[in-house]
A and B are shown apart, each in its own frame.
Chain A
């Protein structure tokens, strides 16, 4: 049975139960990072809807000391921290919301597969959200593995299977394989 299939206007992906668990967990970890911390306490005036509204509207502080977040929201101006700061100020929130929406889409599709009992459906319209989410997952894994250069990559590839990082690297490779598979059918 093929891992990836294209039928009608969707790509269908067969995953084993553990695979849906792993992918769900990876995406949730990225979402967790993107949810950040609220910057100010919220006054709900006793109204749960006001609280929800206020929480939706207030800016979220992302910890850019976290190397994963720094990589997901990099400097746009190499030699101008002020311009980079301005750029980030104008773009970060929208990007953060879009990433959360994309991840939500992936998580919903995984949940709908009932742990892989049914193939996971990826409509073409959602392909971009899947590709971007898989990229974010791979970037996060690579950074946690300490991969910054091609040399680092070679080092990690050569790790023995006793090294705990070797498992993380396998997951990283597997996410790349999923991304290639999806790309090949678009």
Chain B
């Protein structure tokens, strides 16, 4: 499996954030009727490196609650993670942590 940082060298204009604000972003994976539970678990294990139990638990959260927070941290990292989720065919969005 390959993962690549979303990127070129272009700079995006963004409002200046404090260090705490910078870290306060999350990636959310949303349920969809197509993706197999075994596949979603595989994605969480292989991309994030989560142990089987955590990957399975996150997958069940997506399945039963409709969504789950799969990672958190800096916005740029969340964009990389969301990009990876999309490349696996999952539906992911990024937002500020509440």
Chain A positions within 8 Å of B, measured between CB atoms, are 71-78, 86-87, 90-91, 94-95, 98-99, 128, 131-132, 135-136, 138-139, 142, 147-150, 152-153, 176, 179-180, 183-184, 186
Contacts and interface: CB of A to CB of B under 8 A. Distances in A.
Contact of A86 (B12, B39, B86): B12
Contacts, number: 81
Contacts of B7: 90
Interface in B33-81: 33-36, 38-39, 42, 46, 79
Given A91-B83, A183-B38, A72 B89 contact: yes
Contacts of B17: none
A84 to B, nearest CB: 9
Interface of B: 1-2, 4, 6-8, 10, 12, 33-36, 38-39, 42, 46, 79, 82-83, 86-89, 91-95
Contacts of A184: 38
Given A90-B8, A95-B86, A128-B1, A150 B33 contact: yes
Contacts of A90: 6-8, 10
B36 A95 contact: no
A91 B33 CA distance: 25
A180 B38 CA distance: 7
B33 A149 contact: yes
Nearest to B41: A183
A118 B44 CA distance: 33
A142 B33 contact: yes
Contacts of B1: 128
Given A147-B34, A149-B33, A77 B94 contact: yes
